[in-house]
């Protein structure tokens, strides 16, 4: 699991998101990719053949970080979290 930097960091208010149906803490202003990595998620989606994919460029160019957010495919590295967001990843084999 990736850890958040804790020393000398001021975060905005804590919020809650749902990652594959489980509540997880996030902080306003973080990207979805940051929140997923901090929660230990490394498989963001799977290809049609089932190959795992995760963030590569972290700047919106590669599309390897796609997740479903409230039912729509979005690039996790380019999307800022919002309270109550429902994020579906490819962490489970049966997920998108
Ligand atoms: S990591 Fe490349 S588009 Fe998000």
State the SS3 of 1-65.
CCCCCCCCCCCCCEEEEEECCEEEEEECCCEHHHHHHHCCCCCCEECCCCCEECCCCCCCCCCCC
Q: What is the pLDDT along the chain (96 residues), one digit of tens a residue?
A: 677 888 999 999 999 999 999 999 999 999 999 999 999 999 999 999 999 999 999 999 999 999 999 999 999 999 999 999 999 998 876 555
Instruction: Give yes or no for residue 73 CB within 6 A of ligand 1.
Output: no
The two structure tokens encoding residue 71: 């039912």
Q: pTM higher than 0.85, yes or no? A: yes
Q: Give the integer Cα–Cα distance in Å for 43 and 46.
A: 7
Q: Indicate the domain borders of the chain.
A: 14-88
Instruction: Give yes or no for residue 61 CB within 6 A of ligand 1.
Output: yes
Classified by CATH at the fold level, domain 14-88 comes out as Ubiquitin-like (UB roll) (3.10.20)
Instruction: Give yes or no for residue 64 CB within 6 A of ligand 1.
Output: yes
Q: Which residue's CA is minimally distant from atom 3 of ligand 1? A: 60
């Amino acid at each position: 699991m990736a850890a958040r930097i804790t020393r000398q960091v001021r975060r905005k208010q804590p919020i809650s998101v749902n990652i594959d149906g489980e509540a997880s803490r996030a902080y306003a202003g973080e990207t979805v990719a940051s929140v997923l990595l901090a929660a230990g998620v490394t498989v963001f989606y799977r290809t049609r053949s089932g190959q795992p994919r995760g963030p590569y460029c972290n700047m919106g160019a590669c599309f390897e970080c796609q997740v479903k957010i409230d039912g729509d495919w979005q690039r996790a590295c380019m999307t800022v979290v919002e309270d109550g967001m429902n994020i579906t990843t490819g962490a489970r084999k049966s997920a998108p």
